[in-house]
Amino acid sequence: MISRTSVEATVVDGFEEAPLKIENPIIEFLRMYVRNVAAVGGFMVFLIIALLAVFAPMLMGVDPFEIIWSPSAPPGADGFALGTDNLGRSMLVAIIYGARASLAVGAAAAGITIVIGLLIGCLAGYYRGWVDEVLMRITEFFQVLPPLLLSMVLVALFSPTLNTVIFAIGIVSWPGVARLARAEFLKIRELEYVKAARSIGATDGRIIWRVILPNALPPLIVTSALTVGSAILFEAALSFLGLSDPNVMSWGKIIGDNRDYLLEAPWTVIFPGLAIFFTVLSVNLIGDGLNDAFNPKLRGR
């Protein structure tokens, strides 16, 4: 019996015996991920940003909407590391609190995107036929619509709350995930182990969720990580246009509130812009690392 940890087996090759090493897949995954220095760096940056967001109330102790100094104070003035905005609010406090909304929207919207995309893609790829035709026509309908424009319409039709923004981003971002899931299911459903499961009487639900989906997950996990970055950019764009909850501080809202003062106080736009840049970059680097770790062609190099 082969244990879950690394073991040594003996294979007879002619007259010689060659050791065969079987490694724990989790250990192998971590080994491949750690080899990507950029991905590790991206993970560390994202972890720091996430921790700052979670512990923002404990670290700051000041409301991000509170006016505490003169407007547009430059960075370093009177102890304000990043200066103040056009209303006299601390830029450092606003950016750290803004991480809470931006990351929450990114994660929640990505979750909605993955759920809808997986559901439609899995059913279309497994059942094919008329089910595939109907679901793919629906997917193409959403795919040809400009995502940002559609999300703006959805937020404008309903009240501009954080939940509305999350729903709007999630409902316009799923077609790419659906097409990827469909392609994976079309490929895997014809493999021998799937036919074997079908031959012993496994139900369609069990084959879809317990047999095919686990083997289709690697590219879908990579796409999920990248979707978080896209959702953060979507939220920033909607907040910049004023289509977000006015009572919630986010990076896009900071930029939108201070865009008229770009020439007089450029730091009020540059710092939240850098926060968005480094967060999305770290998410993309994590996605690249996951892609390398899940790629069997890179094993053993």
In a shared domain, residues 135 and 27: no
CB count within 10 Å of CB 188 equals 18
pLDDT given at position 18 = 44
CB 279 within 8 A of CB 46: yes
pLDDT given at position 156 = 84
pLDDT given at position 3 = 41
In a shared domain, residues 14 and 113: no
For the chain, list residues with pLDDT below 70: 1-23, 295-301
In a shared domain, residues 5 and 70: no
Write the DSSP symbol of residue 14.
Answer: T
pLDDT given at position 155 = 87
pTM over the 0.75 mark? yes
In a shared domain, residues 5 and 131: no
pLDDT given at position 258 = 87
* Count of domains forming the chain: 2
Instruction: Produce one character per residue of 145-164: b if its CB has 16 or more CB atoms within 10 Å, e if not.
Output: eebbeebbebbeeeebebeb
In a shared domain, residues 67 and 107: yes
In a shared domain, residues 146 and 90: yes
pLDDT given at position 119 = 93
Concatenate the DSSP letters of all residues of 54-106 into one string.
HTHHHHH-S-TT-B-S-TTPPTTGGG-TT-B-TTSBBHHHHHHHHHHHHHHHH
In a shared domain, residues 64 and 3: no
In a shared domain, residues 228 and 265: yes
User: For residue 301, how many C-alpha atoms fall within 13 Å in the half-sphere facing its CB?
Assistant: 11
The token pair at 192 is 């021998």
pLDDT given at position 22 = 47
In a shared domain, residues 31 and 149: no
In a shared domain, residues 138 and 178: yes
What is the span of the domain harbouring residue 9? 1-35
* CA-to-CA separations, 175 to 12, 163, 166, 259, in angstroms, rounded: 50, 21, 16, 33
CB 82 within 8 A of CB 95: yes
In a shared domain, residues 162 and 22: no
pLDDT given at position 9 = 43
